[in-house]
Structure 1
């Protein structure tokens, strides 16, 4: 069984961190530690919608992508460095949610950083945890609804033409209703290799100067004898464009023989733009939207890294409207979950807790504060 004991951190850097002190008794018992045994990094500037802010936990500072880093932040999203770190959920904070997984308002609104510190300082069995690296998660399909259907008998894919998304372009000025209307391919029953890919993606576009979505589709047709394509499309021009250009909005990165079926957007972790998606919706759901103006910007999601910090069931925050029931409450409430970051090349483990999304002085959003304990697995 692997438990941890706290390691001394000399991290009084620019007044941003609390100094750690190691107990003389290294038996791993949380009751023998006090509130000085963690470090804090306040007000991480994660305001950019396109750029990540990288954090080195050893130095308790922000660094560049080329430096050594364990965590990165962009707005409310969190990444871990896949070359250095594996991640697991240590404290799930189930008491913050009811039996249906809905936030309990009284628990969220009464919780404080002080009241939830015990979870950061608690004793954990790391052998019982499942550690994983970040995985790529496309906005199209993020909710589990895919743009294709799989036939277990024939092992062929077909278009899920009742699955729709509303996508935003890379400049956040145009929108489109999107669905994959047709999809076909050939499977060799001897070699089990795919060939002859053919698919059509329909866009009902609302340009920057339009008040509503078009009622006639613009169609992007993709064919490949090898059943593999990597091509890009621009909504504004309703045409295919070079993927190396800045103007692409959606990329079809598909390779049947390598089981890759990604529709990628130029935003989030996939590009420098602001492309994002809302959905999936069925035929009835999409018909309710005649204009993109009916959507709130917060309803769109970008391509992201999937990990315990960000996944719906384990994420570190709850949306204010879900917590308080107030439509006007757009705040993010921390649930004080604790995440374990295991260094891939040593027995060091960091226990990390996000305690706020807002600047400690100005209350500006996208300035998260974290606290953490450096531990060793034994």
Structure 2
């Protein structure tokens, strides 16, 4: 299927505190599934066989202020009661839910992995933009055929499956390295938005000069948005030249003033000093968050919607389900609608098909997952 543009993805990412509440706040087309529960699939003794497409849930993941994680074992069709610490090494659970995040277990002998079938490609136009009405009008019944159509022939080669992994948002993405010439250049089309001290700053690296294998000089393009002063858009980009040759200590930058400061000041970006020049690393404070974008058309951050943009710590877990978001965020109602994507989940030798059907319970409270899953048949 076509992947939505970065702008749609940024607009759609949500933690959705606004979605909790009374039934009047729930999407009209969202189901109120109660079929299935913690009691499992009933397949152990074949006395209560489950009909293909049966919906399980809802399972509560708490609230945005007090999130909870639900760990689910696809083999038994049951919730596994675990603390977060215990789940970090437990091999029984296969998939887990925590607010809008969906995780798979990487601690099994073979990590649980995911493949998106691309069943709802018609929910996007030729430019890859979402067709809002397709998402808002989709129902459990209207999207059942897509689910039932997935059979063994739909399973791709093993290398097509992906799993969760650890990475850095900034990492090595701020520069390009030519393997043939060994020349390093700035990735000046890559932008980062940092949320720090209730303000927002969009920055990029516009030029890099190397000093051997180290960073001798770099130029930052900094566009600051002082939300505390009422700004709703980024100011014009300001260039800041950092000469790091012969540095004796780490370099610190304050985005508010677009100046170099000391470690004792309220810095927003640091570059570690190496042996005679700087290391190829950019670090943000522990209490700051960051968002990586690929183009410059991000005019500003809506402070009220900031929790929905997808800001994260620089060190993050990349969830396989994030490769194709399972939900559509309606900017008018501020509600989540399932995209009714059908995923394949490989657990050991078994491949399951899986489709999230709702994020709400029958009271319209957010964070309550309902879904259907079945072993893929012939």
Cα separation, partners in 2 of 1:216 and 1:230, compared to 1, 3 Å: same
CA separation in 1, counterparts of 2:98 and 2:255? Answer: 26
CA separation in 2, counterparts of 1:17 and 1:249? Answer: 46
Q: Does 1:56 align with 2:72?
A: yes
Residue 208 of structure 2: aligned partner: 183
CA separation in 2, counterparts of 1:248 and 1:51? Answer: 30
CA separation in 2, counterparts of 1:251 and 1:77? Answer: 29
Residue 341 of structure 2: aligned partner: 337
* 8 Å Cα contact 1:319/1:331 also seen in 2: yes
Q: CA deviation at 1:360?
A: 0.9
CA separation in 1, counterparts of 2:328 and 2:273? Answer: 34
Q: CA deviation at 1:105?
A: 4.2
Q: CA deviation at 1:75?
A: 3.3
* Partner SS state of residue 63, structure 1: coil
Cα separation, partners in 2 of 1:218 and 1:108, compared to 1, 3 Å: closer
Q: CA deviation at 1:168?
A: 0.7
Q: CA deviation at 1:340?
A: 2.1
User: Gaps spanning 5+ residues in structure 1: where?
Assistant: 1-12, 26-32, 188-193, 322-327
CA separation in 2, counterparts of 1:263 and 1:44? Answer: 38
Residue 312 of structure 2: aligned partner: 302
* 8 Å Cα contact 2:53/2:372 also seen in 1: no
Residue 351 of structure 1: aligned partner: 353
* 8 Å Cα contact 2:193/2:292 also seen in 1: yes
* Partner SS state of residue 369, structure 2: strand
Q: Does 1:45 align with 2:61?
A: yes
Residue 75 of structure 1: aligned partner: 99
CA separation in 1, counterparts of 2:216 and 2:335? Answer: 45
Name the TM-score, length of structure 2 as normaliser.
0.63
Residue 370 of structure 2: aligned partner: 369
CA separation in 1, counterparts of 2:281 and 2:239? Answer: 20
CA separation in 1, counterparts of 2:280 and 2:351? Answer: 34
* 8 Å Cα contact 2:250/2:272 also seen in 1: yes
Cα separation, partners in 2 of 1:199 and 1:48, compared to 1, 3 Å: farther
Name the TM-score, length of structure 1 as normaliser.
0.63
Residue 123 of structure 2: aligned partner: 96
**Relative contact order higher in (CA < 8 Å, ≥ 6 apart):** 2
* 8 Å Cα contact 2:270/2:282 also seen in 1: yes
Q: CA deviation at 1:15?
A: 7.1
Residue 161 of structure 2: aligned partner: 131
Residue 275 of structure 1: aligned partner: 289
* 8 Å Cα contact 1:319/1:330 also seen in 2: yes
How many residues align? The count is 316
User: Gaps spanning 5+ residues in structure 2: where?
Assistant: 1-33
> Residue 154 of structure 1: which of 172, 181, 201 is its match?
181
CA separation in 2, counterparts of 1:48 and 1:295? Answer: 15
